[in-house]
Amino acid sequence: MGGMVLLRVSLERGGFGALPNLIIIGAMKCGTTALHRYLGLHPEVAMSEPKELNFFCGPERPGGKWLEGNWHRGLEWYAAQFRPAPVRGEASPGYTSPSFPEAAERMARVVPEARLVYAVRDPIERAVSQYLHHRVDGTERRPAEEALPDPESQYLDRSRYYARLEPYLARFPRERIFICAREDLLTRRRETLRELYRFAGVDDSFWTPEHERRWNVARGSPVTIGGSLLRRLAAGLSDDADRFRELAGREFPGWQV
């Protein structure tokens, strides 16, 4: 660990590049692509390309696919992904995936002063959107009634926002975690981006017509969720949603849970 700390300090001083100080940690299908783009429009912010670096995920040694983690590439590789700017960021929804429980501890060790952004939306809508995503890419063939409640899948787990955020709450101060609702990005975008820019520590008055653009619009045919399935999903998410509302300090009145 001592060697990693020394390398991190060297990187922060400009030895190989600068580590990020703003990271979008999820959740999947909650507007992380839009947030990455909107942040990147700001002249004081440099967001990584590609968007999802998945650095804090995966094994110590090379192997697997990009989305399975790039921890083995090391800090010099990670720092090289960021251009110089007051705020440097990336967006990897995998950081709050149940598949990568190691991400929070690694992040706290490498960039302990980073600010974190956690995007959310109606938990049931999020689960359905992920289901549609996997239907389109061919990795899910089951009907919604079978797939969505399946405890072996991540559809509900990734919609348990408090549980997914808990490892970060244990390692980062609450005031350095910004919760951004996708619904707010759609209905009150200018105000939401002002809040986000203020959180990031940059000029919150910045605005461009490009902010009006929508990113990563969902593909695939809509899925109709019947009353029985909706009640099953809500029952599986309600306790977590209550804890998350208390944490966020708001009600999210349009949510179905």
**DSSP secondary structure, 137-166, as one string:** TTS--S-HHHHTT-TTSSTTGGG-HHHHHH
- Render pLDDT for 57-115 as a digit per residue (tens, 0 to 9): 999 888 777 778 999 999 999 999 999 999 999 999 999 999 999 999 999 999 999 99
- pLDDT confidence of residue 131: 95
- pLDDT confidence of residue 6: 44
pLDDT band at 2 (very low <50, low <70, confident <90, very high): low
Mean pLDDT of the chain: 91
Angle between helices 227-248 and 161-169 (to 10 degrees): 30
pTM for this predicted structure: 0.91
Residue 199 CA, chain-centre distance (Å), reads: 16
- pLDDT confidence of residue 225: 84
Q: Which of 184, 210, 209 is nearest to 195 (CA)?
A: 184
Conformational region of residue 201, where left means phi above 0, alpha means psi within -120 to 50, and beta covers everything else:
left
Fold of 2-123+161-220: Rossmann fold (3.40.50)
pLDDT band at 217 (very low <50, low <70, confident <90, very high): low
pLDDT band at 5 (very low <50, low <70, confident <90, very high): low
- pLDDT confidence of residue 51: 95
- pLDDT confidence of residue 4: 55
Compute the half-sphere exposure of residue 34: CA atoms within 13 Å on the CB side of its CA: 27
